[in-house]
Amino acid sequence: MPELSKKDEDRLVRYRGQSLRLLQDALDEIRGGRWGRCEELLWGSLTLAVKGVALGRGRELDGLKAVEDYAQQLGQEKRDRRIREAFSKLASFGETAEQVRESRIRADHLVATLEDVTGAVERLWDMAPGGDLISSLLRGDLDEPDELEEMDRGFLR
């Protein structure tokens, strides 16, 4: 993995924070029954996660097509269907949400898409520099201060 500049490290941390905040906001929107707004938030969260992984690997992605193509590549590399299919599933999210609103289908399809996209975002951040440490902290796996001290402080390198 390439060594990141301080500017890129800061950007990676910002991407991660924004992505996870958007993901949480999407979940909050769903609880309020606002599926349309949820879709926009999921797009943003997923896009930032893919850009974060690329940045951590020394790549810059410009434009949605480049982000989607890179997500496909990452999904194939990690043999992760959720990452490979996340953007295509989101592309039909709005239409499916409309069908749910009109009560033509149950919300199960939207819930499945939400679970897949959420899983893809989490998996992508695990792939980014420092992702495994941050995920452990968020899960509460690192309860003891000594465990943190033992880890390399430069976890983004």
Number of domains in the chain: 1
pLDDT per position as a tens digit, 13-36: 999 999 999 999 999 988 887 877
Q: From the CB of residue 33, how many other CB atoms can be counted at a distance below 10 Å?
A: 10
State the Cα–Cα distance between residues 13 and 7, nearest whole angstrom. Answer: 10
DSSP 60: -
Average pLDDT of the segment spanning 3-11: 89
Q: Is the per-residue pLDDT at 59 higher than 90?
A: yes
Residue 148 lies in a domain: no
The per-residue pLDDT for range 106-151, each reduced to its tens digit, is 778 788 889 999 999 999 999 998 765 454 444 555 444 444 444 4
Answer whether 7's CB lies under 8 Å from 43's CB.
Answer: no
Rounded CA-CA distance 124/86 in Å is 11
Q: Rounded to an integer, what distance in angstroms lies between the CA atom of residue 101 and that of residue 107?
A: 9
Residue 73 lies in a domain: yes
- Give the mean pLDDT of 46-53: 97
Q: Is residue 135 part of a domain?
A: yes
Q: Is 26 part of any domain?
A: yes
In a domain, 147, yes or no: no
CA distance 101 to 1: 46
Domain housing 55: 6-139
Is 150 a domain residue? no
CATH number of the domain residue 83 falls in: 1.20.120.330
Residue 127 lies in a domain: yes
